[in-house]
Amino acid sequence: MPMKPRFLWIMVLAAVFIAGMTNAASTPPKGSAERREILAALRQELKTWTKLDVIFVVKYLKVKDGWAWVTAFPESPDGKSKYEPVEALLHKKAGAWQVMEMRPGGAECEEDPDCADDTRYFRKLKDRFPAVNAEIFPH
């Protein structure tokens, strides 16, 4: 017995919807290779600037199409020292995550209107990196 066209249409729409959902920005689970690689790249970038070994308490992490946005709180491995929050845009190139930009923090950001205003900051970041999908940004 042939399927009714309406049923076929519903099945096609469901497939498109499910495919769209699986392509949404996602948060790599704790312990996943992708999460470890992203945080390792961020850790290395911070070490270059600060000479500190840190671990991260991740507040926000979204990934899509080889781009990631991270908001994290670095601290010493023993948890005794806490540092300013870090926000960064990363891109996966040639199989490795690279920090493309770290958002200025503290007074440096507060004095810059393009940094202090989240909407303006993320719009300008998207302009500078047009390939990034804005779904990864927290705002």
The structural domains of the chain, ordered by start, are 26-136 (3.10.450.630)
Strand order across the 86-93 sheet = 55-64, 67-75, 86-93, 96-102
- pTM of the predicted protein model: 0.80
Q: Return the percent helix, strand and coil in the chain, to nearest 5.
A: 40, 25, 30
CA distance 10 to 21: 16
Q: Nearest 5 degrees, angle CA 104-CA 54-CA 29?
A: 90
pLDDT score, position 107 = 77
86: which strand partners?
A: 72
Q: What are the pLDDT digits (tens) for 14-67?
A: 444 444 445 899 999 999 999 999 999 999 999 998 999 999 999 999 999 999
pLDDT score, position 108 = 80
Q: What are the pLDDT digits (tens) for 73-109?
A: 999 999 999 999 999 999 999 999 999 999 988 778 7
